[in-house]
Homo-oligomer: A and B are copies of this chain.
Amino acid sequence: MSIARRLSELHIDLPTVPTPVANYVPTRQSGSLVFTSGQTPTKDGVLQYPGKLGLDVTVEQGQRAAELAALNCLAALHAHLGSLDRITAGVNLTGYVASTQGFADQSKAINGASLLLERIFGEIGRHSRAALGVAELPGGAAVELALVVEVSQSHGRTDTAEMS
């Protein structure tokens, strides 16, 4: 089944790819690896679930935030690849969680993103992962994700910047 159809089945609409707020690009490919820029849980340009885990964001809200950030990663990959069917493997996910003193459930929060990738991509979406608790994230985000995926080789290297 195509990923587009799977997304439809899961009632997931890919968001528009967030515009980088600075001098970088949403994705960059080298060989068969594509690196996404760090994505936060924005929706239509508005940050969702701002704050910190352990204070004003619950673990459950952190999981929703991680899902949204993962969707933004996929939106960036879709804009770059044309089709998410070109993804042949999740490779690595680094999940940063804005954490107050003593909060230790970063893995549970980031798992919102891992579960979503599994639901959408099945076996292909499996990835290695690190979850970390950080002091602060850009714009007051609760979660930030950086994703690396493997894609089937297209002719030559392209990246989002060159496509736009």
Contacts and interface: CB of A to CB of B under 8 A. Distances in A.
A122 to B, nearest CB: 11
Interface string A1-41: 00000000000000000001111111110111101111000
Interface of A is mostly: mixed
A140 B104 contact: yes
Given A23-B114, A24-B93, A111-B22, A137 B133 contact: yes
Interface in A131-145: 131-140, 144
Give the copy number: 3
A72 interface: no
Contacts of A157: 89, 150
A115 B20 CA distance: 13
Contacts of A23: 111, 114-115, 118
Given A101-B136, A135-B135, A91 B32 contact: no
A102 interface: yes
A129 interface: yes
Interface in A105-130: 105-108, 110-111, 114-115, 118, 123, 126-130
